[in-house]
Each structure stands twice: as C-alpha cells, then as structure tokens.
Structure 1
Amino acid sequence: MRKSSALALITTTIFTGGLLAACGTSPAASSPGSSSAKAKSYKVGLVTDTGGLNDHGFNHLAYLGLMQAKNQLGVTTSVVQSETESDYVPFLTNYAKQGYNLVIAVGFLMAQAVQQVSKEFPHTKFMIIDDEVPGPNVTSSLFETQQCGYLVGELAGLVQKDHALPHINSYNTLGVVGGESIPPVNTYIAGFYAGVHAVDPSAKILLKYTNDFNNPNNGQTYAQSEIAQHADIIFQVAGGSGLGVITAAKQAHVYAIGVDANQNYLAPNTVITSAEKGIQVATFDTIKDGLQGTLKPGVQYYSLSNNGVGMAPPISAIPASIVQQVLQSEKAIRSGKIVPPTTIP
C-alpha cells in the first residue's frame, strides 16, 4: 500500500519499439525509435480514491488500464494511492508540477479537486472517472451503470422468484450494500431495483450504506444485518468495503453480486454475477488518445451500446432459461425499448 508521504509514488517506465502503427504515424514522418521515445516521454499519473488499488474493482480497473498503456504503448506511468480525501489536491498538483502530460483522477469524490487543479495547470490534461468536470483540459468519463444494474437485478429477481439456486429462502428479500450515497453508486442501485421489480413487483429490497469505500469490516457488518432480515442475494456497490459483503454472503451460504469488475473469482460459489463497468477500457483509450494528440475535452459516455458496461457471465448453476430472459432484456435496453431509471424509488 501507499507510503504516507504525498510524494511517495509508485513509478513504472517502459521503453518499447514499433509504436508507429499504434500512434497512426507514417514511416516517412517518424522512425520506430523516435516514436518509442515520444511514448516514453509521455507521462501519465493516476491518483486513486480512498478505496485503493486493492479494491478488486474500481481503482484496480483504472490501474489495469494504466498498465495496459504502459505495456502496449510504452508510456511512462506512475500511481499514488489516496488514504483520505485531503490527499486529492496535493497528489493531483504534484503530478502537474512534475510535468505529467495526463493526470487521471479515479472517482466522483475527486471532482472538486480536479476542478481546482485543472484551472491552476491549464497546460496539463486531466481525466476524471465517474463525474463531469467542465474545462478545456478535462476529459470526463461517465458510465450508464443503471443498465448493467438492471440486468443483474433482473437476474437476481428471477433466481429469487423461481428459487433457482440452493439456499434461496421463501422470504422474497434481496439486499443492497452501497458505499456512499452518490450518483455513481445510486445509478447502479436504481437499475437494480428496476430489474428486480420488472420480474417480481412484490420483492422486498433492503438498502444500507457503509459511508465508506475502504472498510471491508463495515461491509461485512451491514451485509450480516441484511442476511439476518432474510436477504439471500446481496448486491455490493461499496468498493473495497463491498469485499466484506462477499465474505458475509459466503459465510452465511447465501449469494452476492459483484460490482465494477467480474468478482466471481473472489468466491466462485457465492458471487453469481457482477455488474461490470469498463474503467480499464476508458482509461487505456484516454491515454492512447492523449499520446496521439487526439484527446478532446468534454464527456465520454460508456453504455451497453459501446460495451462500456455489462453483466458478467452468471454462474453455471443458474438455469439457462433465466440467463436467456436477461439477455433478451439486454437487447431491449440496447434498442431503447427498456430505459432503466437513474434514481432509486
């Protein structure tokens, strides 16, 4: 994990040849060596939110996108992990002062810091994930997670209604454990509610917030509370805190739904599917555009239509008929026939 000093950076550098085609440069304009040198001199710094790199989801995916850019494009990369929200401004500022070409802020909670620092360093490019920050040097990546939330909600509702897995009880109750009550969390949850109630209007959904993203013990405690109230499928939308939700579900022999990444590997018989967010793709594509000089300010939207969000493959124990019904709903969302809501009822 990160050292406490604001200047403690984990830095990685790679030199690679043959970047010509990736950068779209003609052989006459640049040699492989000069192209590689250009990539190496392009510096990208990534600042995590307080969830840290070990959240097995949100921050980790951004880091994977950063490492993909390092390995495939040859750019110079660095990452620093925030322990508190007060780290955001100094960490972003430190990268800008060091002449980094692109500084990436991972998370909605960093919006105010990005707005401040991007104005102070107008010649530095910034990317923020999960919020919109205006500015001529800021690119914002937003994800329509109500869509994948709807899909995993429908799957959970059908499994619950049909008692399609062992240990599904007769109380018709599902749970959600969110991190903080902020838009990127609540859009997932709004879609989940809609998906569940589309197939089972009588289903009861319990909702609690841990009010943090980096405390698995909190997540486990809140999940245990919902399990005690007969919830047997729990959707975690709480970052690192949500890892405790999966632990609680595993221990109680009930089920969990992962978030951001496919989290089935954490508990293969417990995590029945995950609502996925394409943070790795967005991070890599933004770095690539920055290197090529084609990065534009404004909002980039990611949805089912451009594979920016999705549902991870459900576990094989779920009947194929349920999976097929959910896949039909995915097609309906893509076509606009189903429009999942963005607010929790």
Structure 2
Amino acid sequence: MKVTTKKAGFAGLALLGSVVLLAGCASAPEDSGSGDGGEAIDFQPCMVSDSGGFDDKSFNQLGFEGATKAADELGVELKSVQSEAETDYAPNLTNLVDQGCDLIVTVGFALSAATVESALANPDVEYVIIDDAADNDFDGTVDAENIKPILFDTAQAAFLAGYAAAAYSQTGVVGTFGGMNFPTVSIFMDGFKQGVDYHNTEAGTDVKVLGWDGTDGLFTGGFEANDTARNTAQGLIDQNVDVLLPVGGPIYQSAAAAIRDSGKDIAMIGVDADFTETDPSVADLMLTSILKGIDVGTYDAVLAAGNGEFDPTAFIGTLENEGVGIAPFHDFESKVPADLQGQLDELKAAIISGDVEVKSYLSK
C-alpha cells in the first residue's frame, strides 16, 4: 500500500467536554456516544486505548473524540475499552471482535503488534491505527490489508517549535525527554533538535539540546505521570534548561509539577494537542504545542468506513496538508521576540517548498 496525503485540519483540537472513562480489560466494553446523529445503520465502530487512557489530554483523547463524533453522525454508538497495561492489548482486541465490531480503532505504536495479529486473524474486520505504520517487519508496507494507518510527520512542526524554543531561551539550554523510544515519540525530538540547530546556524546562537542527540536520549520507560517522569524532568531542570519538551501523553503532568516545584522560569512545549486549551491548569507554562490532527483523521476514517468507503491507504499529516502545526503562543505572546511569528511563517513556507529539509523516518 502506498502512502498518500489528504487535507486535514485542526478544528476540534480543543476539548468539547469531559471524557467518560471506559475501563476494563476483563469485562466487556461499554457503549459510549449518544447515537443521536441520525438513523442507525448496520455498522459497529469500536476503539481501544493504549495505557495512557482516554483522558490523557493527548492522542488517545483526541482519537476518542474524533471516533465519537463520527459515530454520532452515523447514528451508531462507539464501543470503547481502555487498556491499563500492555498485557491488556490483545485481550481487549479479542473482546471487541467478539462484540461484533466492524471497525476497530487502536491507538499508538505500543498496540501495533496486537493490532496486526488481530487484523490478520479477522480479515473481515476493518482496523484503523493511530500513530503507527503497522509495518512490524519494516518492509515498507502495511502488514495486513485491512489496516489503515494514520500517521503524522510531526518532525516538521517540531522543527518550528525547536526554532521558537531557541529564539526564546535565555539560558541557552533546552531539553526534551520521551516516554519510550518509539519512532512516533522520537520524531518529535528529532524535529525539535533540528529546529534548534537551524536557529543556531541562522541566528548565530549556541543553544544546546539535552535529552536527545539525534539517535538516543532520555526516556521514562512508559507513558504514565509518575515519579520516574518527574525525576527525569527534574534532571533536565537541574542542568539549567528553560524550555522543556516532554513527549508521551500524561508525562507532561509530571514535568509541569517539577517545573512548579523548582520555582524557575521554565516554559513547556506540548504535544499532539494545544495544551493551553485541553489542560488550562498548565496554560501559564506553555510556550506552544506541537499539533496533530488526530481527531480529524480519526473522524474521517471512521465516517468513511461507516459509509462503506473504508480506504486502507495510509494518511500522513504534514505542514502542507495541515495535518500538523504548532499552536499560538497564547500567554507567551509578549515574551517571545516580536518578529518570531514572522520568521516561523517564512520557515513553514520554506519547509513546504523543500527549501528547508526536515528529516524524519516518514520523510525518507
């Protein structure tokens, strides 16, 4: 299957309301969604989260919102089940298949192997996987013909965020860390470092990036907001960073706690969603956020499947098709250089035209 792109947008990235958690690997998945969008059709969409959960203020939650919106418009109810640990993935998928799901949306690289196994065993069920290529043998093709990957070349947007971080930094040191060293995590860190390096070259600065050297870096080993994530953030804070990019769902909450405890003037960069809008409790810390149109991509895929138009061709979000981008500076508007937004607009155009190259595993 060839990889193509199509138009996507960021409408709906902000939270529309509280998300109801639907937990339980052991029990059958619960129904969610109002199902009041119109006449019911013979179609059952389903969704399983990774261990970050549907309230991660990030990609699980955005995917859930997109799938729920599509289900409502189709006049059906979304069945969803939340994974608490990696051992839940395969049983949750089996559970959903047994519940008669026609389409199953899975979230994240961690669910890739279980998704492929389930898809191969159930060729009549359609699958959508968010943030993974479903190419576990790395041969450049999706491992099952009934899986549609939704991917985002976030290195392009992270490049802009890295450039902004370097322009903003007063200490000359910025940092990043991730949950696990998956391609969909390290792609943020790759783009971020490239953006900082580009600013150093163009503006004559010497801003250092801690936590990622282009190949390896700091990872907590999971995506939970816990002491490990907090201590990892603290280690970077102790090295004088004044911009911090935590990549991996809820781990940003631990980073925010470490920043507040430090009493230092440290800005944070969000991932996937605009954290100023999705989590106002950290709005005062947010320099910007690196955005992915996860809700839009998921909505489109579920709606198409419900209308009998499932297309397994991979979607890749880019700056050009507006599948990725960065959020406004919000509270930091007056704190960044006055000409920074203009520079970013020019840089975005240069990336789209190819005049500035941003490398990632999706651009090879």
2:268 aligned to which of 253, 256, 260:
256
Offset of residue 238 of structure 1: 1.9
Matched, 1:100 2:101: yes
Provide Cα deviations, 1:135-155, integer angstroms capped at 9, x if missing partner: 221111111011111010010
Take 2:252 and 2:37, find their aligned partners in 1: how far apart are those partners?
Answer: 41
**Equivalences for residues 285-304 of structure 1 within 5 A:** 285-304=300-319
Distance 1:105 1:314, change over 3 A: same
Matched, 1:193 2:193: yes
**Equivalences for residues 231-270 of structure 1 within 5 A:** 231-252=241-262, 253-264=265-276, 265-270=280-285
Take 1:117 and 1:181, find their aligned partners in 2: how far apart are those partners?
Answer: 24
In structure 2, the partner of 1:26 is none
In structure 1, the partner of 2:29 is 9
- The answer to which structure, 1 or 2, has the higher relative contact order (CA under 8 A, 6+ apart) is 2
Supply the RMSD in Å over aligned alpha carbons.
1.7
Take 2:346 and 2:37, find their aligned partners in 1: how far apart are those partners?
Answer: 45
In structure 1, the partner of 2:179 is 179
More helix by percentage: 1
1:50 touches 1:83 (CA, 8 Å); kept in 2? yes
Offset of residue 5 of structure 1: 4.1
Matched, 1:157 2:177: no
Letter of the 1:212 counterpart: G
Matched, 1:77 2:84: no
Take 2:30 and 2:208, find their aligned partners in 1: how far apart are those partners?
Answer: 45
Q: TM-score, normalised by structure 2?
A: 0.82
Matched, 1:212 2:230: no
Q: What percent identity do the matched residue pairs reach?
A: 31
Offset of residue 249 of structure 1: 2.3
In structure 1, the partner of 2:150 is 141
Offset of residue 11 of structure 1: 1.1
2:40 aligned to which of 37, 41, 51:
37
Matched, 1:65 2:66: yes
Take 2:320 and 2:78, find their aligned partners in 1: how far apart are those partners?
Answer: 30
Which secondary structure state, in structure 2, belongs to the residue aligned with residue 209 of structure 1? coil
Letter of the 1:340 counterpart: V
Which secondary structure state, in structure 2, belongs to the residue aligned with residue 53 of structure 1? coil
Q: TM-score, normalised by structure 1?
A: 0.87
Instruction: Give 5+ residue unaligned stretches, structure 1.
Output: 19-35, 161-167
2:37 touches 2:73 (CA, 8 Å); kept in 1? no
1:186 touches 1:342 (CA, 8 Å); kept in 2? no
Count residues with an aligned counterpart: 315
Instruction: Give 5+ residue unaligned stretches, structure 2.
Output: 1-20, 135-141, 212-217
Letter of the 1:332 counterpart: A
2:24 touches 2:82 (CA, 8 Å); kept in 1? no
Offset of residue 9 of structure 1: 2.1
Which secondary structure state, in structure 2, belongs to the residue aligned with residue 37 of structure 1? coil
Provide Cα deviations, 1:204-250, integer angstroms capped at 9, x if missing partner: 11112111101343222111111111011001112112221122224
Distance 1:307 1:266, change over 3 A: farther
Which secondary structure state, in structure 1, belongs to the residue aligned with residue 300 of structure 2? helix
Provide Cα deviations, 1:165-191, integer angstroms capped at 9, x if missing partner: xxx33xx11010211011001111110
In structure 1, the partner of 2:359 is 341
